Amino acid sequence: MSTLTVPPVLTSPRDDAMQLYRAFKGLGCDTAAVVNILAHRDVTQRALIQQEYRTMYSGDLLKRLESELTGKLETAVLLWMYDPAGRDAIVVRQAFMETYIQAATEVICSRTPSQIQTFKQHYYSKFGIHLEHDIEKHTSGDHKKLLLKYVGTPRYEGFEVDRIAVEQDAKALFKAGEKRLGTDEKTFIKIFSERSRAHLAAVDSAYHNMYGSSLKKVSFLQIYLHTSYLLFIYPFVKLDA
């Protein structure tokens, strides 16, 4: 997948604002110019561009973009204008409102504890409601229990793991899932909501070595759909993501 790069030299927010204004003039929006500018600016630069645009033209750049763009391009550009935590808040809130719970789950479970705390602050600031409230309202059962624990439980974010604890968790998950008739969801929820990403990645490796199965596959087969999605995505996100 290609990635966007930030220019190696500082750009002028004023010049960028002027170019965007020119892109909006005429019969149609010059979308190529808009994308070329905004896609190659970092979050700080985009914020400065918005300030300059407001100062120079007494207008809200976000509202202008919303009126000039359409479809998926509009959605992508508007989301790109926010910082990561603000973007997460918007995506998750919209997912809850549209009952697209898997999308909300994917965002939440792929964030570190520190990212979640920042994201929760943005969520409340923008929507006047706590993230936990929407989780309570729009999810149910084990999925709700897991998400609530996940957003409220501090977790170690480093790379070190305790090999003894890793093996103990692998054994506990085996006993809670494959070894028995039915599933002990509490064990899955406890381990996946309280352990670090590095620890869970190590548990997956240990589980495979001990029982010949992928923990990702086992989680998917043993737990209900939305809950399993959280369980099997979190440990396998890159540690440096």
Q: Summarize pLDDT for 160-194 with one digit per residue, the tens.
A: 999 999 999 999 999 988 887 767 888 888 988 89
Locate the domains of the chain by residue range: 13-80, 84-140, 163-236
Instruction: Tell me which CATH code domain 84-140 carries.
Output: 1.10.220.10
Helices (H) and strands (E) in the chain, counts: 15, 0
| pLDDT of 239 above 50 | no
| pLDDT of 60 above 90 | yes
Domain 13-80's class? mainly alpha
Report d(CA 217, CA 61) in Å as an integer: 46
Residue in this structure with the two tokens 């290609």, named with its chain if needed = 2
User: pLDDT above 90 covers what percent of the chain?
Assistant: 57
**Among candidates 201, 197, 218, 207, which has minimal Cα distance to 168?**
207
Report d(CA 22, CA 25) in Å as an integer: 5
pTM over 0.85: no
163-236 folds as Annexin V; domain 1 (1.10.220)
Report d(CA 117, CA 107) in Å as an integer: 13
Residue range 86-95: mean pLDDT, rounded: 95
- Asked whether the domain spanning 163-236 has the same topology as the one spanning 13-80, the reply is yes
Task: Write out pLDDT tens, residues 97-119.
Answer: 998 888 898 889 888 899 999 99
Better-predicted residue by pLDDT, 128 or 150: 128
Q: Does residue 79 sit in helix, strand or coil?
A: helix
Report d(CA 39, CA 51) in Å as an integer: 17
pLDDT at 166: 96
Neighbour-count burial of 118, counting CB atoms closer than 10 A to its CB (0-12 exposed, 13-18 middle, 19+ buried): middle
**Among candidates 80, 84, 64, which has minimal Cα distance to 72?**
80
pLDDT at 170: 94
